[in-house]
Amino acid sequence: MTYTRREILETLRMTELENFDVRTVTLGVSLLDCGHPDPKEAARRIYEKLVRLASPMPRAVQETADALGIRVANRRIAVSPVSLIHTRPEPAAFLEIAAAIDRAAAEMGFDFVGGYSALVHAGFTQADRALLDSIPDALSGTSRLCSSVNAGSSRTGLNMDAVRIVAKVLKETAYKTREQGSIGCAKFVVFANAVEDNPFMAGAFHGVGLPEAVIHTGVSGPGVVLDAIRSAGRCDLRALEEAIKRAAFKITRVGELIGRQVAERMGLPFGIVDLSLAPTPQLGDSVGEVLEAMGLERVGACGTTAALALLTDAVKKGGAMATSAVGGLSGAFIPVSEDATMIAAAREGHLSLEKLEAMTSVCSVGLDMVAVPGEVPEDVLAGFIADELAIGIVNHKTTAVRVIPAWGKKVGESVSFGGLLGEAPIQEIRTLSCSGFVGRGGVIPAPITSLRN
């Protein structure tokens, strides 16, 4: 037989029993040629371009998925950072564009569209300021739009002014979407060292160095890794890493396969596979469960950061062998609300925000999908974000914060978003003031390690 019985059954096991799917096929589109001084005209051009390029994609994805026998959970679009699209630099102008992008995505059946973004790691343009001011209205007035801000980089340092604006934006967005558990904040992320080819939300945008349009994929697969760890039994850590690498290899191969075939069907170039393990709130599809299967009583126990370091490294090594085009964030995500085991550990008080912060120094992103009480002061939120971004800036990695200051909610309660965004328990955040520090404003200069030339 061309394939052995075991090979065929194991492959079916991945897709049918271990919740393996391709999390997203993301179409990146440049909108930089759609600008116009009149925002209505810019919005019209954007809508037309999105429909022209993206409308064949849902069908191309479905046909590819059917032919290969694999599920694709989400279809997404990433557009150029919207603050770079030439138009009147006023919040109202950007809101026109937000509405046009959201309408195009909804009409074509896309799940999310990212790129309502500003890159302000070294300062603001007029347009950046206008876009930032418009974010609460943009996120409360749309359903699929995602927004992000790059507030720091290892080459330029941390723009604390941007961080303070982001804290204000978050509070406003939380209030404006208070009827839905402050869901607007779940569609907003602030980065240090944002990447240009990220297929995952909320942080996807189509970077300025990328081609006109491109197909990226992001895989999932904690269930496959979990099974590999359980099958490996009581082995030592090196053997454990080997088992994870093999599973990551398989997962990433499928991501690349889907991406290449969808790109071919659409006549577009294939970009990258983001090999991050993305969990879902579904049982058996949890990164937290993977960490616990490695031998922790609960996520958050001592040893959690070390276990996550091993996992992230193994996923990268296995994944890098499987594709010639690794990109995006590529590591392991730890979004609390999107991961059943993390939710449970946070509820039981085992997984504190401080422990999560430590974990983010070895995983691919950061403090992701954590909810805090709605009354958290703005300066505390700014300090919380600055801490996380500093980890990224100093360690030359991407870090991010996607925090929900859930309006009207207190520690012990929770907010539910449904779908892939899941349910977030409100966690305790230290409210000691840091306004004397973050309130100074300005920029934390780039670390000495930025001088590499």
Partner 1 sequence: MEREALALAVSEIVLRHFPEGIPSPALEGVVADLVRLLEGAGGGGQERRDVRHVVFTSLGRNRPGIVHAFSEVLARCGVDIVDLNQTLVHGNFAMMMILDPSGASVSFEELRAALKKRGEELGVLVFVQYEDMMRAVNRI
Which residues bind to partner 1, rule: CB under 8 A?
1-3, 5, 7-9, 11-12, 14, 16, 66-70, 250, 253-254, 256-257, 261
> What is the nearest approach in angstroms of partner 1 to the Cβ of residue 7?
4
Between CA 9 and CA 224 the distance in angstroms is 14
The length of the chain in residues reads: 453
> What is the nearest approach in angstroms of partner 1 to the Cβ of residue 56?
17
Q: Which is nearer to partner 1, 67 or 92 (CB)?
A: 67
Cβ-proximal residues to 96 (8 Å cutoff; 6+ apart), any chain: 39, 40, 42, 43
> What is the nearest approach in angstroms of partner 1 to the Cβ of residue 297?
33
> What is the nearest approach in angstroms of partner 1 to the Cβ of residue 67?
5
> What is the nearest approach in angstroms of partner 1 to the Cβ of residue 413?
42
Q: Phi/psi at 55 (nearest 5 deg)? A: -65, -30
**Which tokens go with 142?**
């749309």
Q: Which is nearer to partner 1, 72 or 344 (CB)?
A: 72
> What is the nearest approach in angstroms of partner 1 to the Cβ of residue 125?
44
Between CA 353 and CA 273 the distance in angstroms is 30
> What is the nearest approach in angstroms of partner 1 to the Cβ of residue 8?
5
List b or e across 266-300, with b for residues whose CB sees 16 or more CB atoms inside 10 angstroms.
bebebbbbbbbbbbbbeebbbbbbbbbbbebebbb
Q: Which is nearer to partner 1, 93 or 215 (CB)?
A: 215
Q: Tokens 């349910």: give the residue.
A: 423
Between CA 5 and CA 97 the distance in angstroms is 53
Q: Which is nearer to partner 1, 7 or 33 (CB)?
A: 7
Q: Which is nearer to partner 1, 22 or 85 (CB)?
A: 22
**Which tokens go with 119?**
């890159």
Helix, strand, coil percentages in the chain from 3-state DSSP, rounded to 5:
45, 20, 35
Chain centroid to CA 386: how far? 18
> What is the nearest approach in angstroms of partner 1 to the Cβ of residue 2?
5
Q: Which is nearer to partner 1, 70 or 278 (CB)?
A: 70
Q: Phi/psi at 338 (nearest 5 deg)? A: -100, 15
Between CA 233 and CA 223 the distance in angstroms is 16
Q: Which is nearer to partner 1, 66 or 107 (CB)?
A: 66
Interaxial angle between packed helices 378-395 and 160-176, expressed in degrees from 0 to 180 and rounded to the nearest 10: 130
Q: Which is nearer to partner 1, 149 or 257 (CB)?
A: 257
Strand partners, 192: 152, 399
**Which tokens go with 12?**
């079916």
